[in-house]
Structure 1
Amino acid sequence: MTRRGFLALLALLPTSGAAASTLAVPQLSPPNAPLNVYHLGHSLVGADMPSMLAQLAGEGHRWNSQLGSGTSLKQHWEPAEPILDFDLVNTPPTYRNAREAIGAGTYDAVILTEMVELRDAIRYFGAAKYLRRWANLARDANAETRLYLYETWHPLDDPDGWLHRIDTDLDRLWLGKLAGSDSRRNPKHPLYLIPGGQVMAAVARAAEAGNIDGLTKRGQLFAKTPSGEQDMIHFNDLGAYVVALTHYAVLYHRSPVGLPHQLLRADGHTADALTPTAARQVQNIVWQVVTSLPRTGVTP
């Protein structure tokens, strides 16, 4: 990338990065072997994104998950709480009961995320308390397990503005009200950040500025409903690829530039793909965002 291109890219990065870096976290060394990863979350994790991550990481990467639709960390924790679409989205061989899996201490990395609307999760569903409970379950099981908070996003039609929410929610909500108490109690073993929302925003800004081959608007990263309308929150194959690249860069401390861009969905079908030029442009953006946020634990 030329210096001019690099400076143009910096201008498109989300504006929350400087503030998000104020909490010092211990330095992480890059892993020296493929990882065994557990994902706990909802449909903004899904099956395709972890499957793409495994393809990007290569032989030896393993993963399991417990998911739901719009599921909070409280619902995952409390046995009496219903999990919408549980039987639909949790199937062998990737499904593993979250309490059993995280409590076993056999995962190199545990990735947690909270439902959105995040304001509601914090106010009504005890999000900070249940984030601490899940993180402590992992810490108590294995002091070497790396813990991550996967930052997502709110709907494209959010009344406050999709980009505005991503820019302002990272520090105030994700790292503040959600993860702040856990960070203060566990400064030596914190939750590191997988900045999914920050990267999606940066890619959207670059696309809308004409800087990504074949992409011109944020909606191209998101799915369509069965009736053909714009899905306002769930990613399509292109968005899943962007988020998988972000997970790869954070978990493995490696630049995603040059990784394959033609991947398979979890069901084995060929995923829609960016052009080779667009893939490299997006990969560069991912690495710039990930390395601009010290909370990821990744250095350039």
Structure 2
Amino acid sequence: MRKAGVIALALAAFAGAAAFWWRSAPAGPDAAAMAALYGEPLAPPQAPLAVFHIGHSLVNRDMPAMLAQLAGEGHRYDSQLGWGAQLRSHWGEIPVNGFEVENDHPRYRDARAAVASGDYDAIVLTESVEIRDAIRYHDSPRFLAAFAEAAWAARPGARIYLYETWHELDDPEGWLARIDADLSRFWLDGVLRPALGRLPKGARIHLIPVGQGLAALMREVEARGGVGGLRDRNGLFSDQIHLNDLGNQFVALVHYAVLYHKSPVGLPHVLLRADGSPAAAPDPELARLMQEVAWTVARSTPLTGVAP
């Protein structure tokens, strides 16, 4: 058999195996069980948090640094990042693409060692984009559950969060349409619920609904014809998927609202990047809207753990 034929058969086998795992993974709790499981909000934290971020360029270095500035003295954080990195790669089954470049900073810590250390109050994980491919080919629920189990083995009270991201602005399904649909069909039904199906009964992983927040913010801004110099969604992005300083600040606001159970309204909006350089700041009107939307989304999206 020619080499091309062998490769084609191998790829077909891999795809078939991946599809089998996707279909056969535990479905997890149904809607009624999810409502019961998450019916009681988390208690708000009573002290600054230590947070570990696991992800890729939609986490980046600047967003966690902005979150730390919003949270104030005592908040600390570390991370392991990559280029489009899957949870599977952070677990160590495959290489983390871009590892050397993305982790060349003082906040890097090995993900497995960090989670097993018990040093962190909260572990925030996200999956790679395209999310549907990550689910199908990289068994996202398995590795989300594995990180959660490792964190709880080291620190039973640790809070585990799944950071909902987004996709490219020019997605053929439509950017807003995909955010609306993807929360249920991929982030919840494709990742979170099957992960819970692998964990002991009663275990909870909470949601940081950044995609929902971006959609809500942009609907408000675009309906008004612009707010404070921001005219449309392109003003939050540096390209078709990566955020600029304004976008990173908004993501940090959503993280703050969910992690701390506090309104970010009135917090400073002139922030620094991770390297200490000044970030582009929203004007006061836009800053206020960003803060209000972040708080509304944290309280109104199910599974955040924040009391409505």
TM > 0.5 fold call: yes
Match of residue 116 from structure 1? 129
Q: For residues 76 and 298 of structure 1, what CA distance do their matches in structure 2 show?
A: 28
RMSD: 1.7
1:254 and 2:262 matched: yes
What is the deviation of 1:23? 6.2
Which residues of structure 1 form unaligned runs of 5+? 1-17, 224-230
Task: In structure 1, give the amino acid aligned to 2:72.
Answer: G
1:268 and 2:276 matched: yes
Q: For residues 123 and 88 of structure 1, what CA distance do their matches in structure 2 show?
A: 27
1:100 and 2:130 matched: no
Q: For residues 98 and 259 of structure 2, what CA distance do their matches in structure 1 show?
A: 28
Task: In structure 2, give the amino acid aligned to 1:109.
Answer: A
1:5-56 deviations in whole A, cap 9, x for unaligned? xxxxxxxxxxxxx99x846414211101000000000000000000000000
Match of residue 188 from structure 1? 202
Contact 1:166 1:198 in 2 (8 A): yes
Match of residue 221 from structure 1? 236
Q: For residues 67 and 171 of structure 2, what CA distance do their matches in structure 1 show?
A: 28
Aligned pairs, how many? 274
User: Of the candidates 201, 205, 222, which is equivalent to residue 208 of structure 1?
Assistant: 222
Task: In structure 1, give the amino acid aligned to 2:87.
Answer: L
Match of residue 20 from structure 2? none
What is the deviation of 1:187? 4.9
Which residues of structure 2 form unaligned runs of 5+? 1-30
Q: 1:291 to 1:187 in 2, by over 3 A?
A: farther
Q: TM-score, normalised by structure 1?
A: 0.88
Q: TM-score, normalised by structure 2?
A: 0.85
Q: Which moved more, 1:178-187 or 1:233-242?
A: 178-187
The percentage of counterpart residues that share the same residue type is 54
Q: How does 1:1-300 map to 2 (within 5 A)?
A: 22=35, 24-25=37-38, 26-78=40-92, 81-184=94-197, 185-210=199-224, 212-223=227-238, 231-300=239-308
What is the deviation of 1:239? 0.3
> Which 4+ residue blocks in structure 1 deviate beyond 6 angstroms?
none
1:97-136 deviations in whole A, cap 9, x for unaligned? 0010001111000001000111100111111111111111
Task: In structure 2, give the amino acid aligned to 1:113.
Answer: T
Q: For residues 189 and 242 of structure 1, what CA distance do their matches in structure 2 show?
A: 29
Task: In structure 2, give the amino acid aligned to 1:28.
Answer: L
1:199-238 deviations in whole A, cap 9, x for unaligned? 0111111111126322110010001xxxxxxx11000000
Q: For residues 227 and 213 of structure 2, what CA distance do their matches in structure 1 show?
A: 14
Task: In structure 1, give the amino acid aligned to 2:254.
Answer: T
- Secondary structure of the equivalent of 1:54? helix
Contact 1:24 1:295 in 2 (8 A): no
1:130-163 deviations in whole A, cap 9, x for unaligned? 1111111112111100000000001101111111
